[in-house]
Structures are given as structure tokens and as C-alpha cells.
Amino acid sequence: MGASLSPSSGGRGRGRRRRALRPMSEINVTPFVDVMLVLLIIFMVAAPLLTVGVPLKLPETDAQPLPVEQEAPLTVNLAADGKIYLQKTPMDYAEFALRLPAIAEERQDGQVYLRADAGLAYGAVAQVMGALNAAGFTSIALVTDAAVPAPPAEN
């Protein structure tokens, strides 16, 4: 009544040979992932070495970092003693305020990175931010360190 295939039929063996000879259509991404991880580590080590800065104790926040631009960023540093550094050049507030309009005219973007010591008064930081804004810098980014997660509280 019914037809059945015997387990000893030769059809199964041929199918296996044909599958083994077909080209593999999957992409092996393991070498790509390995290269990307190596590049990630290289950039993570090299990136802090590329920033210009004065040693400061920066406040810690949970904010995400800003993307890197084409033009070298303008960095303004406020030390704990109140000195202002334009990149690495120290100056007083009057000289800083006089130089800003000329610097704003030469730059293509209005981006400034403001690094201020965590111990400074808010008024000192706000005064420098106001001078930057008055000179024509439209985007002032406050630079912080990543926050260290607090250990869980024990009950």
C-alpha cells in the first residue's frame, strides 16, 4: 500500500557530497572584529595623549564625551589659583578678554573646550564663559572626568 524508502538507499550519500562541494555563503567576521578591537585599544591609549592641557582636578559627571572635530579644538583652562590658560599660554583675565575676538575671527567653528578646576567658584567659571560668548564662541563644552561608580551600600 504505501511506499517507503529503505535506510540503505544511495540517495543520502550523494546529497552530502553535493553540500560539501558547494561554496560557503557566510561571511567570517572574526578577523574583522579582531582588527577593530585592536584599533579600539590603540585609539583609547593614544587619545589622552593628543589633548593639550594643564594638570587640573576636573569634576566628575555622567555626561557622554563629545565627538572629535576636524579642526584642533580651542581649549581654555582655569587653574585652582584662578589663572587662565589659553591652550598652554598663561594670561590674566584682561588679556584673555582682549585676545578672544581675534581668535574667534580666525576659527572656522565656535567650539571651545573649557576645563576648570573642581575647586573653583561658579562665578569665576561663569565669568570666563561670558567672555567666550561675548567674543562669538557659540558652543562652549565643559570638560569633566568620568565619574567613578560608587560601591554598593551594605545593609
Cβ atoms within 10 Å of 57's Cβ, excluding its own:
11
Asked if residues 115 and 54 have their Cβ atoms less than 8 Å apart, the reply is yes
Q: For the residues of 80-147, what is the DSSP string, one character each?
A: TTS-EEETTEEE-HHHHHHHHHHHHHH-SS-EEEEEE-TTS-HHHHHHHHHHHHHHT--EEEEP-EEP
Domains of the chain, with CATH numbers? Answer: 74-144 (3.30.420.270)
pLDDT score of 38: 95
- Give residue 20's pLDDT: 61
Inform me whether the pLDDT recorded for 116 exceeds 60: yes
Beta bridge partners of 145: 60
Residue recorded with cell 562541494: 21
* Identity of the amino acid at 31: P
- Say what the pTM is: 0.51
Q: What is the pLDDT of residue 51?
A: 67
pLDDT of residue 68: 60
Confidence check: pLDDT of 4 > 60: no
CB atoms within 10 A of CB 59: 15
* pLDDT digit string, tens, across residues 78-103: 988 888 998 888 988 888 888 988 88
The CA–CA distances, whole Å, from 2 to 5, 6, 10, 36, 118 equal 10, 13, 20, 59, 86
pLDDT at 16 over 90: no
pLDDT, average across residues 43-66 = 78
Cβ neighbours of residue 99 under 8 Å, at least 6 residues apart?
86, 91
